[in-house]
Amino acid sequence: MKRIINILISLMLVITAFSLTVYAGDENNPEIQDQENDITGKLIQNPILFKILKTINMVPFQSFEFLDITSAWFYENKNEPDYLFATIKIKDLQYTPLRIIYAIRWTFNEKNYGAGCHIHSNDEFRWYAAGQIFGLLDNWAYKKGLIKDISDCIIDYEKNLITLKIPKNIIGDPNPGDILKYTNAWTGLRFISEIGGDLAEDQTSYGNNYTIQY
């Protein structure tokens, strides 16, 4: 009887240990964390310019919280082992007619990779891409085929989440046990044209490494 009780106690301890474990790759324990209200850029540093653009209806918003990264993380789905998922959490995600870029970046096998979602024209235009990068998600790398279109970007405005579904074959084919290093996230606000560069942006410092699980 004692032996049976000891076995049951051991099982309960194992179950408890598993239930208390928080795995990396989720909202509760993200690889990348960022402080709030740390947005920079031309419109932040020049409130007069912001006021002028607002007067002529070129910036239809009151604040820049939709650029403010709070955290980001990678995860995998055992039912879709050929994909890596990356989620960026924003303080107050919302529609805007201007060009918005949400991106996540890392290093694997000494090469820099990234994935991003470009949105503008009141959410009517979206471009999702991922691959090897040299700066951000640059046009040169795209033309060379180092960056390719990806299949999906799920934008959840209620939960303030942007999730990128990235085919592993365009990011170096990471296998279980491989590590993504120097993980960080970035957001940028631009006009529809590239002229003028980033009006406002948020960038995280390097987060924790992520170990491929499946």
Q: Are strands 179-190 and 210-211 parallel, antiparallel or unpaired?
A: antiparallel
Please write the tens of the pLDDT for every residue from 135-158.
555 555 555 555 566 668 888 999
- Rounded to an integer, the average pLDDT of 7-27 is 48
- Rounded to an integer, the average pLDDT of 108-134 is 82
Token match 């995600």: residue?
A: 93
CA separation for the pair 32, 205 (Å, rounded): 8
- Please, is 102 exposed, middle or buried when counting C-beta atoms within 10 Å of its C-beta (0-12, 13-18, 19+)? buried
Our count of domains for the chain comes to 1
In a domain, 125, yes or no: yes
In a domain, 54, yes or no: yes
In a domain, 25, yes or no: no
In a domain, 119, yes or no: yes
The secondary structure of residue 17, as a DSSP letter, is H
Which residue range(s) make up the domain with 162? 31-211
- Answer yes or no: is pLDDT of 161 > 90: yes
What pLDDT is recorded for position 79?
92
> What's the pLDDT band for 97 if we cut at 50, 70, 90?
confident
In a domain, 130, yes or no: yes
3-class state of residue 146 by DSSP: coil
What pLDDT is recorded for position 87?
97
In a domain, 128, yes or no: yes
> Of 199 and 179, which is predicted with more confidence?
179
CA separation for the pair 99, 13 (Å, rounded): 52
In a domain, 19, yes or no: no
Among residues 81, 68, 60, the alpha carbon closest in space to that of 38 is found at: 68
**Contact indicator for 200, 49 with CB cutoff of 8 Å:** no
Please write the tens of the pLDDT for every residue from 50-92.
888 788 877 777 788 999 999 999 999 989 999 999 999 999 9
What pLDDT is recorded for position 20?
36
> What's the pLDDT band for 34 if we cut at 50, 70, 90?
very high
Q: Which of 49-58, 78-87, 117-126, 186-195 has the lowest mean pLDDT?
A: 186-195
What pLDDT is recorded for position 153?
85
- Answer yes or no: is pLDDT of 14 > 50: no
What is this structure's pTM?
Answer: 0.80
In a domain, 4, yes or no: no
What pLDDT is recorded for position 15?
37
Tokens describing residue 94: 């919302």
